[in-house]
Structure 1
Amino acid sequence: MAMHIALTFDDNFWAPAFATMRSVCLFTHRREELVFHLCHRTLTDEHKADLAAIADEFPVTLHWYDLDQSDMFRDIAARMPENKRLSNIVYARLMIDRLVGPEVERILYLDCDMLVRDDVAYLFDLDLEGNAIAAVRDTIGDIITGGKDLRGNADLFDMADYYFNAGMVMIDLRQWREADIIGRMENYLATGVMQRIYYDQDLLNLIFRGRWLKLPWRWNTIHARASHECFDPAILHYTGKSKPWSVVVGLFQAVAFARLYRHVMTNDLFYRYARHRWKRRWMKRLRLAR
């Protein structure tokens, strides 16, 4: 049975996307069943070749979706609220059902700031118990929805309801399609709701309230720190400011499994990505200084 996995990223995240993808391959015995759906934008030919090299090491299948060529994505990205830190690529996951073929019944979405260190076959063999998706409760969901004094958006969210993190979502595509996510988002934009909420993650929590299976925290260990290592997390999610692709972070082990992450990304790509990030940072400073 094919295990379909979707990643969304732009050219600035090509190396972390590779690390996430390679970690999936390394920690499963069912590698020949892996089908990666790579939803990308602004990707250079050089970096696309880096990603494609995964198929030289493992018997996986790759499908590419250039979002810059998608009229729907460009339209949505231009009109929806944008977070400068996250970029409008966050909306790409909402279109998963419209990108992949109708033969795909279940797909695992993964953010590209993740390291997988357990067999994702567990998630594909999981009984969703009639739910549309399976996910992990977000450790800061209360603050995201409640805001100051936990009163923000009280008309939209009930604090007693669990709130999931959308960085790892196992999706039943039939129910995802029936939910008409893009249509619901357009309605929320017209009524002013999208301008009030935390982008696509809040949107998905509104749409699938009461219709998601709560997974153990180890399948999306949010804000993964070194102290999490002793708890044997299955998926590390580096949501904090410290990232495992930082050379300094790697030296001081500020995040969980920093050294493992560097070797999963491969030493060559890790240091090439570090140079890429430094170049971008200095180019940005020079532009601001002019």
Structure 2
Amino acid sequence: MTIPVFYSISDDFTKYAAVSLNSLVKHADSEKDYTVYFLNQDLTPEHKEDLAALGNENVHVKFFHIDDELVKPIKNRKENYLRADFFTMSIFYRLFIPDLFPQYDKAIYIDSDTIVNDDISKLYATNLENNLFGACTDLSIQYVEKMVTYIRDVLALDPKKYINSGMLVLNCKAFREEHFIDHFMDLLEKYHFDCIAPDQDYLNEIGEGRILHLNPRWDAMPNENTAPISNPGLIHYNLFFKPWHFKNVQYEKYFWKSAQETKFYDELKQELDNYTDLQRQEDREKLNYMLEKEDKTFNDPHNWAQIKKQGSVTL
């Protein structure tokens, strides 16, 4: 039996994905078998080689090209912008995993801006029962008033149960049996919901009531409002405060320890050194810009909350 783990990346994210993959390999149980897939549309042959070289005899690295036709209905429109900032198709790849890989009844998905600090097979052992997926509450937004308001009043969800989609334990069998991707596409095409985190919002909405909330150590995110988790199993450098752009980021030591073991270490250190205070200020302003979207979506008569109130959408 192999433990399937999926990343979705664009070519410019390869160096960060390499650091994550290196950490996963380092913590993998030598007695178990793992297959790591990189879902992509534009990886260069050189970067494929760089990632494949990090595998070993029991961690197999493979690549899967996402066909344009598959994601054709997902348009580059403002309501599909990540963080209200830009469009990236790769955030949607994770939703297609169960249909693209029918050989798996369960799979793990993790973002590329992560560090694995424990054996990922422990996460895979999660008993999902009848839940669609397992994930962790998004603790990075619990102290951001506008995000809490957005989740409560625009999405009509409980902010304390709103999960982050950077780590998912997918019940692939249930996704297929219940035609999750067809349902997602129907909602996407019919309503054009204006979202701050498109893939994440849809997962929270469709999965409501059938999400297994996991121990927060499996999606530990840098947070300026809380103390760090002492034994994080997986660290997710969510939103803007990446350790390759900011110094003194919570959990940064785990990133640099793994980065040091890859060919990209010098390049990453240079990226940090060359990142200017002006760029950091712009990143902080992007957070504010993202939060401004809450005002607009709150007054949208076609937002999630209003459509659900009308009873015209079945999730």
Q: TM-score range by the shorter chain?
A: 0.7 to 0.9
| Superposed displacement of residue 194, structure 1 | 2.6
Distance 1:63 1:177 in 2: 23
Structure 2 stretches lacking a partner, 5+ long: 277-315
| Superposed displacement of residue 187, structure 1 | 2.3
Distance 2:231 2:171 in 1: 27
Matched, 1:263 2:257: yes
Q: CA RMSD in A?
A: 3.0
2:306 matched residue in structure 1: none
Does structure 1 conserve the Cα–Cα contact (< 8 Å) formed by 2:28 and 2:119?
yes
Give the letter for the 1:264 counterpart.
Answer: S
Give the letter for the 1:132 counterpart.
Answer: L
Q: Secondary structure at the match of 1:268?
A: coil
Question: What TM-score, normalized to structure 2?
Answer: 0.75
Q: Secondary structure at the match of 2:175?
A: helix
Distance 2:31 2:11 in 1: 26
- Which of 262, 272, 279 is the equivalent residue of 2:267? 272
Distance 1:72 1:99 in 2: 10
Q: How does 1:1-290 map to 2 (within 5 A)?
A: 1-30=1-30, 32-55=32-55, 57-67=56-66, 69-78=67-76, 81-83=80-82, 84-85=85-86, 87-100=88-101, 102-139=102-139, 140=141, 143-144=146-147, 146-147=149-150, 152-153=153-154, 156-159=155-158, 162-196=161-195, 198-223=197-222, 228-229=227-228, 231-246=230-245, 249=247, 253-256=248-251, 258-265=252-259, 266=261, 268-273=263-268
Cα distance 1:244–1:219, how it changes in 2: closer, same or farther (>3 A)? same
2:285 matched residue in structure 1: none
Give the letter for the 2:249 counterpart.
Answer: A
Q: Could you tell which deviates more after superposition, 85-94 or 208-217?
A: 85-94
Q: Could you tell which deviates more after superposition, 226-235 or 272-281?
A: 272-281
Structure 1 stretches lacking a partner, 5+ long: 282-290
Distance 2:159 2:19 in 1: 36
Q: Secondary structure at the match of 1:72?
A: coil
Cα distance 1:78–1:86, how it changes in 2: closer, same or farther (>3 A)? closer
| Superposed displacement of residue 185, structure 1 | 2.4
Cα distance 1:132–1:162, how it changes in 2: closer, same or farther (>3 A)? same
Cα distance 1:65–1:276, how it changes in 2: closer, same or farther (>3 A)? farther
Which structure has more relative contact order (CA 8 Å, sep 6+)? It is 2
